[in-house]
Amino acid sequence: MSIDPRIERLRKAAATRSVLIVLAGAAAGAIAAVVLAARVGGFTAALPSAALALGVLAGLAWHARRSVDATWLARRLDAQAPSMDDSTALLFRDPATLSPLQSLQRTRLLARLDALQTDVRPPWPRARLAACLAAGLLLLAFAAIWRPDATPSRGAGDRVATQAPSGATRLLQVELEATPPAYTQLAPIRSSTLDAKLPQGSVLRWRLRFEPAPRAAALQFHDGTRVALVADGDAWRGEYTLDVSALYRIVLDGVPAPIDDRLYRLDAIADRAPEIRLLVPDKTLSLMQPGQKSWDLAYEASDDYGIAQATLTVTHAQGTGENIAFKEQVIVLDGTPPESPLTPVPPSDAVRERDERGPRVVLRYSHAIDLAALGLSMGDDVVVRLAVTDNREPGPNTTRSASTILRWPAAPSQETAGLDGIVQKTMPAYFRSQRQIIIDTEALIAEKARLDEAKLLARSDSIGVDQKLLRLRYGQFLGEESEGHAEHAPEGAVGGADTQAGALAGAHAAQEQAAAPGASPTKFGEAGNVVAEYGHVHDIAEAATLLDPQTKATLKSALGEMWQAELHLRQGHPDDALPYEQRALELIKQVQQATRIYLARVGLELPTPDEARRLSGERKDLVDRVGTLAGTVPADAAVVDLWRALDRSTPPDWDAATRALAARGSAPEVLGAIAALDRARRAPDCSDCRLQLRRALWPLLPTPPAASAPRTAPDAEGRAYLDALRAASQGFSR
């Protein structure tokens, strides 16, 4: 039953007032309860308390809104509006169920609603709200002054000292201050822990206090470097420049070792090279439009700490064939922040944005090339590249963008003009052009009404065969070697991709099996293993290297259109195939226009031959090329032996494995393995430490080389079969 809108407005106003009264009374208490929970249990206790408080407030608000129903509103109007004649309930009943007298009374009440001025909203309970607010404020004050623990707080060193057993040296205070390089423009970083992750080139300064005081103290790094600490009152100070990631330990003289005598880790964050993104144009190869006077370019560059300079190299290529001339000019660009692209700013004032890699400096560069001033003519190309340099010291990082080309297509060749009667344009039957396929399809469509169904299907299928041959011809440039490549085949298409897919699946399965833990050595002679180990998968479009990515993507789209055209032609629907054929022709034209490839010019430096010794047989000063080849030394043998010994009862060679890992550099996984090795070595009875070390060493193990599988001995059934063959062969020979 529908309720009169005037009555509904009164009900909504009353319900809203009831909800506000409930929230105002309970909000202060809920906030105070959350603050008290945070004081007692910290963030872990405050989060569920806040969720519980919100749930309680939502439940109270829902109950208050639900309580303002039709019955409540009828009683409220009857009590406050004498004009309703205690008959408001009639407004909420179905008119079909009312008697004639009740219907007359209901009509009178509806007429009086326009003149009704009664406010049915519940009044604000000021005294009750004031009491709730006072209680909430008292609870907040109690939470602010109350301390869950009366003992004073302790630093990291004090916590270590509390847990230290008697006889061990206690680390009372730890202060680590790092000053990043000046070019990063970062403030000094202070920490109370011995582990840190800092920019490469930062200067680290330690301030440590021990109890009892040692005679001497030093920091011993995993690569053999030793930093002696200098006494400064009751503290010890040291300084170190973090060029590469490292592990170190505190070494004390004259006192017992600290209780936490593990290796601490310092991670050096390398300054990454700038990143460049092309904004305008949206593709790397653009064709000059009629009447175009300028070429607009826009790039976006980002770096960790700052961009020093951006230069745009513009190369003008003229001519064709062997007669190509190049003119090059370099333009220095000014960057602008992304939110203000019209105001140039110095690189040092660039805007820092934050992404998943942290805060980064982001600048945009734009430039418009005047084509008339450049002297661009038909058949010429304009190639541009942006180079961005950051502020890294002592040597900056430089990033160069991919080449972006503007091409003014040359005029069509007129070599056969006027020779139509002499030059005969023929085409092999096995290779038709896309334009010829379109002409044949249009001719078939024009004759469609005069052909019967069988002849129409035969001619359409013949054109589909031509489309298939052309698709396979172009597919060779994408590395396709079998017809029906699954890369472009529509769903349900029939082709020969199953064999290729099966071979590739076998190769990938062999690779995964070889990389799995506990896998046996690769068997010699198995097809999947041979392809996975030595093969070059060149029937995948992404593996083809003949074309640039933009041209490759265009050609893949053309092959997809050819697939659809062939599908409809084979089914006898040339009308549906014609749009796909035309789109394939446009895409092929774009591919054919990519005729120039620009490579960096590298000088050829060949050794100067001694003409006097040619054909003389003189072998003086000649070295034995075979004897100069040094045999390979398995540098990872110590790591492999350690990994195997951890799962056996044989004692590991810790020193050899440590030297082998230290020789690998300062990669994160190497430092993690060295730290795990140190823990396992210092706790020989710790099974968890050995397990963690095995897990850390697993990514560092070399891939086992391919080896021939030994012939397995036959079982009883196999021996019986071989004996029967031998007996049969002897009887036949007799």
Q: Residue 551: what pLDDT?
A: 78
Q: Residue 267: what pLDDT?
A: 94
What CATH architecture does domain 275-407 belong to? Sandwich (2.60)
φ, ψ for residue 237, nearest 5 deg: -120, 150
Beta bridge partners of 312: 331, 386
- Extents of the domains making up the chain: 5-145, 157-269, 275-407, 637-700
Phi-psi region of 40 (alpha: psi -120 to 50; beta: other; left: phi over 0): alpha
Query: Tokens for 419?
Result: 């020779």
> How far is Cα 231 from Cα 210, in angstroms, rounded to an integer?
11
Q: Residue 672: what pLDDT?
A: 92
The neighbour count for residue 641, using CB atoms within 10 Å, is 16
How many residues does the structure list for the chain? Answer: 734
Q: Residue 635: what pLDDT?
A: 60
> How far is Cα 63 from Cα 55, in angstroms, rounded to an integer?
12
Q: Residue 321: what pLDDT?
A: 61
Equal CATH topology for 157-269 and 275-407: yes
Per-10-residue mean pLDDT, the chain, length 734: 70 81 80 77 75 84 80 76 72 75 77 71 81 81 62 38 58 93 92 93 94 92 92 93 94 88 92 94 91 94 92 90 82 84 42 51 93 91 95 92 91 54 41 82 91 90 90 79 44 36 37 41 44 46 60 86 93 93 89 58 68 75 61 72 84 89 88 92 87 91 74 84 84 65
φ, ψ for residue 458, nearest 5 deg: -65, -45
Helix (H), strand (E) at residue 102: helix 100-112
> How far is Cα 40 from Cα 51, in angstroms, rounded to an integer?
17
Q: Residue 117: what pLDDT?
A: 67
Q: What is the pLDDT of residues 673-697, one digit of tens each?
A: 999 999 999 888 888 888 999 999 9
Look at the alpha carbons of 132, 136, 139, 141 in this order and tell me if their dihedral is positive or negative. negative
Q: Residue 445: what pLDDT?
A: 92
Degrees (nearest 5) of the Cα angle 515, 516, 522? 60
> How far is Cα 729 from Cα 721, in angstroms, rounded to an integer?
12
Q: Residue 623: what pLDDT?
A: 66
Q: Which CATH number fits domain 157-269: 2.60.420, 1.10.760, 1.10.357, 2.60.40?
A: 2.60.40
DSSP at 631: P
DSSP at 607: P
Contacts 24+ apart (CB under 8 A), 110-119: 110/4, 112/83, 112/84, 113/4, 113/6, 113/7, 114/6, 115/83, 116/6, 116/81, 116/83, 116/84, 118/77, 118/80, 118/81, 119/80
Reported as half-sphere exposure (CB side, CA atoms, 13 A), residue 722 has a value of 7
Contacts 24+ apart (CB under 8 A), 545-550: 546/477, 547/477, 547/478, 547/594, 548/284, 548/594, 548/597, 550/283, 550/284, 550/285, 550/594
Query: Tokens for 311?
Result: 């230069």
Q: What is the pLDDT of residues 546-584, one digit of tens each?
A: 566 777 888 889 999 999 999 999 999 999 999 999 999
650 contacts 641 by C-beta, under 8 angstroms: no
376 contacts 384 by C-beta, under 8 angstroms: no
Task: List strands edge to edge, sheet with 170-179.
Answer: 189-191, 170-179, 202-211, 235-242, 226-232, 216-221, 246-253, 264-269, 196-199
- Going by their DSSP bridges, the two strands 285-287 and 404-407 should be labelled as parallel
> How far is Cα 202 from Cα 153, in angstroms, rounded to an integer?
31
